[in-house]
A and B are shown apart, each in its own frame.
Chain A
Amino acid sequence: MKSKNWIKYLFAYLMLIITLVPFYLMINNSFKTTQLFVKNPFSLPRTFNITNYTTAFQRMRYSRAISNSAIITCISVSLLILTSSMTAYFLVRHNWRINRWLFAALVASMLVPFQAIMIPLVSIYGSLDLLNNKWTLIFMYLGFGQPFAVFVFHGFIKSIPLELEEAALIDGANKLQVFFQVIFPLLRPVIMTVMILDVLWIWNDYLLPSLILLSPAERTLPLSTYSFFNEYSVDYAPLMAGIVMTILPVLVVYVMAQRQIIEGIVKGAIK
């Protein structure tokens, strides 16, 4: 029994090392010069050289990119949560034919891969001259995010007893007041789930923003990482620093809220 446990721990920590070693190498080499890096990626840096970081910061237009990413992610996710929870509530509480159709269409659309929509999307919004605009991108996230978010809220709202709302209705509240005063506060755990999944999706998304945001000033973090790598592909050390800076914001949030994030993802998958 004892020997079996020993193997278990060995295997688990070996797998953990394989999972995390790429991150260690990346951080380690972000402080070295490119020559030292190429010679031996495993050696520790002799001095904590931060010139790689200043180089990457300027070439990636880091402050611009991170604020673009933050603005787009915050606004998209907030609007998405608001509109999808209202829609889900309405679809659950009113068993009308149009609502059943709408719900069926939303569920079916989850099977459609983004690539099947990408070309007409670019050609329609391009001909309307709406490309290269943050707000177009936010509007698109609002559309692409609906099916999953409505689906998750729908599943949760179904389990909320109707009696809770009836008391408010008797007091003369209208539908909007009932939703915001009674239902919305109860949704907190599901809001967390939708928020975590959609923040990770939008923050890391590359393909859609690469089609919409064409000018360098509008670039989000994944876009600026991509162009940085294409333009300076031989100078490894600053590239590593650029990657560390791209990952850092997400990693900091993860370390603080690791448990909630993983639980949120489980709930989203089981629904």
Chain B
Amino acid sequence: MKSTLAKVKWFSIFTGPALIAFLCVMVIPFFYGIYMTFTDWDALADTYQYVGLRNYALVFSDRAFHRQFLVTFRYVISSTILVNIFAFILAWLLTSGIRAQSFLRAGFFTPNLIGGIVLGYIWRFLFANVFTLVGKSLGIEALSTSFLSHPERAVSALIIVTVWQYAGYLMVIYIAGIVSIPKEIEEAASIDGASGLRKLFLITIPLMLPAFVICIFISLSRGFIAYDLNLSLTNGAPYGSTQLAAMYVYQQAFLARRYGLGQAEAMVLFLVVAVATVTQVQLTKRYEVEA
């Protein structure tokens, strides 16, 4: 009896504060959120009704939701592919015996110290003022009107800024992956006559698959929840064509005041993120080899 009491005592001392915060901030709101999706709550009225699965039916028949999800997919897939290519090239370059390696590394990492809101504003000024000026003075048609005023190109603008920011972040992880490969393996390959590119594809990349798993996971999950950059760079404009999933949920809930519907969309977003990231990790893990 005494030992049970002691157990409870130590459990509450050590995990109590963390557990309470975790329960109140994540667990309870998460399950309460699931409950909300079955109601027609609009945030203003005191009463609400059960509507069963109607919100989910609305989500799947909502044209704007479909469009916004396609834009989000385009953004997430393009930025994930591009950012990982750039990050890997930079990491490879920096570990190839280049001078001033740590200076370059620090430089490439710099954009990641700054929040999406501020980065979005810096780039808004670049797209609207600097690029157009360069385009006009050099006579480049594509640059002379702002990227941000064109629906397709405004999505590209979001992708460009995301790649520009995260390339330096993922590069740091790829560098750690490359450095962790034992030197002997590479030397053995060189003695066997493998060239630079062959070594890259047959030795370096297969041996650092864990780094790829992490980096793709990070870029996928961050892409799906991107909000700050979206808000400050395009704010959905022109005509809502650049609204990503997170911003759409925000608008449904807090501007259109449809809590139930907004939460149902958030749950769909959650399922997509969970399925995408878990599948990705399972798929890439399968190819992992031991050094």
Contact = CB atoms under 8 A, between A and B. Distances in A.
A206 B233 CA distance: 14
A94 B266 CA distance: 36
Given A15-B108, A112-B30, A269-B214, A120 B36 contact: yes
B254 to A, nearest CB: 8
Interface residues of B, number: 87
Nearest to B33: A120
Contact of B253 (A119, A175, A262): A119
Given A116-B33, A116-B267, A175-B10, A121 B117 contact: no
Interface string A87-118: 10111001010110010011001011111111
A240 interface: yes
Contacts of A109: 22, 26-27, 30
A181 B2 CA distance: 26
B162 interface: no
Contacts, number: 242
Interface residues of A, number: 86
A16 interface: yes
B208 to A, nearest CB: 11
Contacts of A106: 22
Contact of B93 (A12, A89, A144, A239): A12
A150 interface: yes
Interface stretch (A53-61, A161-169, A187-195, A244-252): A244-252
Contacts of A226: 117, 231-232
Given A16-B107, A113-B225, 10 more contacts: A26-B125, A84-B18, A86-B13, A116-B33, A116-B269, A146-B21, A207-B228, A226-B231, A226-B232, A265-B172
Across chains A and B, which 8 residue pairs bring their CB atoms closest together, nearest first? A143-B25, A204-B115, A90-B14, A143-B21, A120-B33, A116-B270, A120-B29, A142-B21
Interface of B: 7, 10-11, 13-15, 17-19, 21-30, 32-33, 36, 41, 43, 90, 93-94, 96, 98, 102, 104-118, 121-123, 125-126, 129-130, 133, 164, 168-169, 172-173, 175-176, 210, 214, 218, 221, 224-225, 227-228, 231-232, 245-246, 249-250, 253-254, 259, 262-263, 266-267, 269-270, 273-274, 277-278
